[in-house]
Structures are given as C-alpha cells and as structure tokens.
Amino acid sequence: MFYTDFSFGGRYVRNTYALKMSAVWFCCLLITVNASAFEIESERLFESDNQRNELRILSSTDLDYMEPIIRSYQMQYPATSVLYTVASSIELYRAISEEQANYDVVISSAMDLQMKLVNDGLALEHQSSEVDALPAWSRWGNSLFAFTQEPAVLLASKRGMNGLSMPQNRKELIELLRDNPEQFNGKIGTYDIRESGAGYLFATQDSRQSDAFWRLSEVIGSLSPKLYCCSSAMINALHSGEISLAYNVLGSYASAVLDESDDGSIVPLTDYQIFMLRTALLPKRSKQPVLGGTFIDFLADSANRALIDQQVGLPAINGEVFNTHQHYRPIALGPGLLVFLDKIKRKRFIKAWSDALLQP
C-alpha cells in the first residue's frame, strides 16, 4: 500500500488505504501552506518544543515506519520540527520533477525513479563522514543514499500447500505448479506490474536475473493468477486463504504481518533473491539543504542501523548479508535502472509480461 500507485500512463489508481486516508488528506490539504497539485496520502507535523526550523520530508514510506526514526532524529536535533508528507512513489516523482515541490528530503523505495531524479539533475550533492561510510553499492555518487535493503520474497500458506513440500528455488516452484495445476489454479498472487511500480521494478530485475522468470510467468499465467496492486493486499489475500502462494512480495512488510499467523510463511528461494534499496536524496529545490543533510546523515549513520532494524522493522543496510548469502542480489543503483524507464522498453516489457500472465 505504500509502494503502490505509479504508472507511466499517468493513470492514478487510488488504493484502498489511500481512500481511507482521503479524509485526512483533505484536512492536510487545507492546512498545507503550499498547496500541491500532486496527490498526497497523509501528512504530519512533528513539532519541536522550541522550534527554530522545519525539516520537510516527502516520502513514499508509511508514517508508522518512519515515526521512530523522526522521533529519534528530533532527540538529536530538538529545535527542528519535521513535516512528514506521504505520497505514492510516482506522485512523489512528479512532485519533484514537474511541480517543483518544496521539500528538503525525498525518500522513496522506487529506486529507478529516484535514480531518474538524480540523473535528470534534480538532486543535490551531499558529502559527510556518515555517507562516506556507506558501502559503495548502497549509494550513487554523492546524490542517492540507501538506508534499507528489502527483499522480494515468495509467500506460501501452509494450508494452501496442503502437505506439498516447499520449493527451494524457481525451478522447483515451476515444477510444483506444473505438477499440481488443479491445486494452485486461481490460488497464486503476484503484482500487477502495469499498476505497481514496485512490481514493475521486481519483474524487470527478475527478468535480468534468470530466464526462469519468463517460464515462471508462463506457468503462473496458465493458472489464472490474481494480480494485486501492492504487497499488503497480497499478504491480506494469503492470510484470508484467497491465495496459497504470493510471488515477489516485499519481504519487510510480510515478516511484520506474518508473525501474527502461523499459516503464512516466507519461502526462502536459494537460486536468487532480489533486494530493493530504500533511498533518500536532497532535492535540488530544497531551501535548506544543510538541514536536509542532517537527516540523510542520520539515516546513513551506522549507529542508527539497529534503530531501523528493530524499532522500525525494516532491514537496515548490512553488507555482511550479501557476503554470507551469495544468492542475495541487491538491485544496483546506476544508470542501468533508467533502461526500463524508457517508454518503449516499458511498453515492450509490459506487453511481454501481459502475453505471459494474462492468458485467455
């Protein structure tokens, strides 16, 4: 639900959560000083007791996750109020690239869009000892800095598996689905990449990793899959027994929810596992880049990784994981991400994907 609605057709599909939040959104709109043309989902001002300045953050990450970080940040900078605005990653991209919205920090899990903001020169450079300590793969130049690494995982319902052994990799998953078509027909969920930015990113990166992606897509397509806008919806559907398997779910969200039920579990695939990086940047139009820099430094500071890991519940940057698990693949920050943003490329990919998944 946080990484939901972005599509290049400019079509904005409001998710259920967003509808629920629309009342809040309208209130926010009324009190927001600079009325924005882009759609925001929620906004909250973390006031400080003796406010001297206000840090404006535009983020695609839900407030619940960021609140502990902001509170902790304010302990360090007690004179700073923080205005935290949530928007979908595509709206966020539009706000920065087209509407020149006034924010000091932009946080998004849409690596490709963040990369495009940087590539189009819309991000400031920032240098500090904190960001310099970041691993090379978790930053792009002096403009884009990652602070979480979140895997795309396969979720399975024990009930839905009905005693079948869990697949170890995509090859076994393909075989499992081929061998048990009647059991899984209509019981598989995955992103609708036409609507979901995260789904599109995962799918494109998946396609780069292995040919198995297209074979898997063919197999899933033959089993009348259910397509979802977002990870939370897939988790809910699995939870309710609507589906038995959910492919490419954002693992960080899944682990938070699945703790509560014994039924659903994350299936560790050993061939490869894609990791998405949640990144922050300083928009070029920021009026107080130094203040924004303090927040970036706070996120990058290795001393705060435990906070992100435990209190926030998002996996903080940890290069060790990639050394010990050879099949963990972080999505590389770099101009390569721009390739799938190319409109022709995107059209071709979605067509190929549709041909595989949406079998009549």
Q: Which residues bind another protein (CB under 8 A)?
A: 118-121, 140-141, 208, 332, 334-340, 342-345, 348
Provide CB contacts within 8 A for 284, sequence distance 6+.
Answer: 121, 122, 123, 124
Residues ≥6 apart with Cβ < 8 Å to 43: 25, 28, 32, 83, 84, 85, 86
C-beta closer to another protein: residue 2 or 353: 353
Q: Which is nearer to another protein, 147 or 349 (CB)?
A: 349
Instruction: Please report how close the Cβ of residue 207 comes to another protein at its closest, in angstroms.
Output: 9
Nearer to another protein, 203 or 246 (CB): 203
Q: Which is nearer to another protein, 307 or 333 (CB)?
A: 333
Contact indicator for 271, 169 with CB cutoff of 8 Å? yes
Residue closer to another protein (CB basis): 134 or 234: 134
Q: Measured from the CB of residue 251, what is the shortest distance to another protein in angstroms?
A: 24
Q: How far is the CB of 94 from another protein (least distance, A)?
A: 18
CB of 348 to another protein, least distance (A): 6
Nearest approach, Cβ of residue 60 and another protein (Å): 22
We find the least distance from the C-beta atom of residue 340 to another protein, in angstroms, to be 8
120 vs 175, beta carbon nearer another protein: 120
Distance of closest approach, residue 141 Cβ to another protein, in angstroms? 4
Nearest approach, Cβ of residue 327 and another protein (Å): 20
* Beta partners for residue 91, in sequence order: none
Residue closer to another protein, measured from CB, 289 or 334:
334
Is 78 or 141 the residue whose CB approaches another protein more closely?
Answer: 141
Q: Given CA atoms 128, 322, 60, 309 in this order, what sign does their dihedral have? A: negative
Report residue 16 as tokens.
Answer: 């259920």
